[in-house]
């Protein structure tokens, strides 16, 4: 804590600087129900809904406790204080926490509060201002969800469907305009669609991406939605990154290799398979081996040190017949 007292009537300008190894980052994430993992949110969060934040501290040697996530308005006044952060697995020299809380209806910043190992309190404020939407319940809130809907890869000389979900979470019906853009001009079809949605109503839409003939081209696709009943700055968006790749058609080999026994000398019954007894008996055999599918890859036999296994030489993929001998 710093305290500065001015004595006299002169005008002062005071600048305070600090230097510390303690750095804290906060990231909004969303759970992917398919994989069970969190991914970073790119869409604007919705006021009143529960949001999940990951708090990361890359250097933790001086950290004692991490206690609260504090929400403040842009002027620094506290809006909410959330404790009970859950620590999740991370590297040995770092700390990662997860916390879920309801979003306020107004713009806010996030600060992390805790103590160091000496018991001193620390407070780290992230200067980025989060503006949830909507800040008025009469406005129309729209969400665009891509990561949970898009499937498949963008293959060269082919097209990929980009489905999206639009939800009216406001209290009034409105026309919602959904637009898509990308930085490689993969979007060749309609780039803007309109939907009339009543409160609580949702609809599915779709755009198409058309890849060129070059492998490894990466494009960021952004889908945004705005509502006629909302303010100009009340919109939602989401992004997905796609990279062109070549479609590889992998053939399946359903043909089983064939091993035909052509001759056996001597005998080998169950009693002779006893490791303590088998060396007292001699037997040998020959076989013909063939594969009509992708061809032969490897030929082996389970023989011990007292036996030998030989086969004709062949190259991988050979479709002819080879002879093999065990003695």
- For residues 126 and 168, state if they share a domain: no
Amino acid 140: pLDDT: 53
Tens of pLDDT, residues 177-204: 888 888 888 987 778 889 898 888 888 8
Distances (CA, A) of 304 to 214, 261, 301: 54, 20, 10
State phi, psi for 256 to the nearest 5 degrees.
-85, 130
pLDDT at 105 over 90: no
The answer to whether the predicted template modeling score (pTM) of the entire model surpasses 0.85 is: no
In 3D space, the residue among 238, 132, 142, 140 whose CA is nearest the CA of residue 181 turns out to be 238
Amino acid 113: pLDDT: 95
- For residues 40 and 68, state if they share a domain: yes
Pick the last residue of a domain from 105, 130, 155: 130
Tens of pLDDT, residues 289-325: 999 888 898 998 877 666 788 999 999 889 889 999 9
- For residues 116 and 155, state if they share a domain: no
- For residues 222 and 265, state if they share a domain: no
Pick the last residue of a domain from 245, 271, 305: 245
- For residues 95 and 49, state if they share a domain: yes
Within a domain: 253: no
Tens of pLDDT, residues 215-265: 988 888 888 888 776 655 566 777 777 889 998 877 888 888 999 989 888
Give the pLDDT band (50/70/90) at residue 145. Answer: low
Pick the last residue of a domain from 64, 95, 130: 130
- For residues 77 and 170, state if they share a domain: no
- For residues 80 and 103, state if they share a domain: yes
Segment 135-151 mean pLDDT: 53
Amino acid 67: pLDDT: 95
Sheet holding 95-102, edge to edge: 38-40, 25-31, 50-57, 95-102, 86-88
Within a domain: 250: no
Overall domain count for the chain: 3
What is the percentage of the chain residues whose pLDDT exceeds 70?
Answer: 84
Within a domain: 136: no
CB atoms within 10 A of CB 325: 16
- For residues 37 and 108, state if they share a domain: yes
Spatial CB neighbours of 131, under 8 Å, sequence gap ≥ 6: 44, 107, 233
Tens of pLDDT, residues 19-33: 777 888 898 888 766
Q: What is the mean pLDDT of the chain?
A: 82
Give the pLDDT band (50/70/90) at residue 148. Answer: very low
Amino acid 144: pLDDT: 53
In 3D space, the residue among 138, 136, 134, 160 whose CA is nearest the CA of residue 149 turns out to be 160
Within a domain: 108: yes
Q: Which residue has the tokens 């949970």?
A: 148
CATH code of 240's domain: 2.60.40.10
pLDDT at 9 over 90: no
Amino acid 54: pLDDT: 93
Within a domain: 301: yes
In 3D space, the residue among 130, 134, 124, 137 whose CA is nearest the CA of residue 95 turns out to be 124
Within a domain: 1: no
- For residues 158 and 231, state if they share a domain: yes
Please, are residues 103 and 133 in contact by the beta-carbon 8 Å criterion? no
Give the pLDDT band (50/70/90) at residue 70. Answer: very high
Domain holding 44, by residue range, is: 25-130
Within a domain: 90: yes
Amino acid 273: pLDDT: 60
What is the percentage of the chain residues whose pLDDT exceeds 90?
Answer: 24
Tens of pLDDT, residues 31-60: 766 567 777 776 677 777 888 999 999 888
Within a domain: 147: yes
CATH code of 35's domain: 2.60.40
């Amino acid at each position: 804590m710093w305290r500065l007292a001015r004595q006299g009537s002169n005008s002062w300008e005071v600048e305070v600087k600090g230097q510390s190894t303690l750095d804290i980052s906060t990231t909004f994430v969303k759970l992917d129900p398919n994989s069970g993992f969190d991914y970073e949110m790119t869409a604007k969060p919705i006021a009143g809904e529960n949001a999940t934040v990951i708090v990361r501290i890359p250097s933790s040697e001086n950290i004692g406790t991490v206690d609260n996530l504090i929400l403040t308005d842009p002027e620094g006044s506290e809006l909410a204080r959330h404790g009970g952060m859950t620590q999740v697995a991370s590297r040995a020299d770092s700390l990662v926490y997860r916390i879920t809380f309801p979003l306020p209806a107004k713009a806010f910043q996030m600060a992390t509060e805790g103590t160091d190992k000496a018991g001193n309190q620390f407070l780290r404020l992230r200067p980025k201002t989060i503006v949830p939407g909507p800040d008025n319940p009469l406005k129309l809130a729209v969400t665009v969800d891509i990561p949970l809907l898009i499937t498949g890869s963008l293959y060269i000389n082919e097209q990929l469907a980009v489905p999206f979900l639009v939800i009216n979470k406001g209290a009034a019906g409105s026309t919602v305009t959904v637009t898509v853009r990308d930085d490689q001009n993969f979007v060749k079809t309609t780039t803007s669609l309109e939907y009339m949605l009543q409160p609580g109503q949702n609809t599915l839409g779709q755009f198409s991406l058309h890849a060129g003939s070059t492998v490894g081209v990466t494009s960021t696709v952004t889908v945004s939605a705005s509502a006629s009943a909302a303010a100009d700055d009340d919109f939602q968006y989401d992004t997905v990154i796609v990279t062109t790749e070549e479609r590889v058609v992998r053939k399946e080999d359903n043909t089983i290799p064939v091993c035909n026994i052509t001759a056996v000398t001597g005998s080998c019954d169950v009693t002779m398979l006893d490791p303590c007894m088998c060396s007292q008996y001699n037997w040998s055999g020959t076989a013909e081996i063939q594969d009509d599918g992708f061809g032969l890859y490897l030929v082996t036999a389970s023989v011990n040190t007292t036996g030998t296994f030989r086969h004709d030489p062949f190259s991988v993929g050979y479709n002819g017949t080879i002879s093999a001998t065990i003695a």
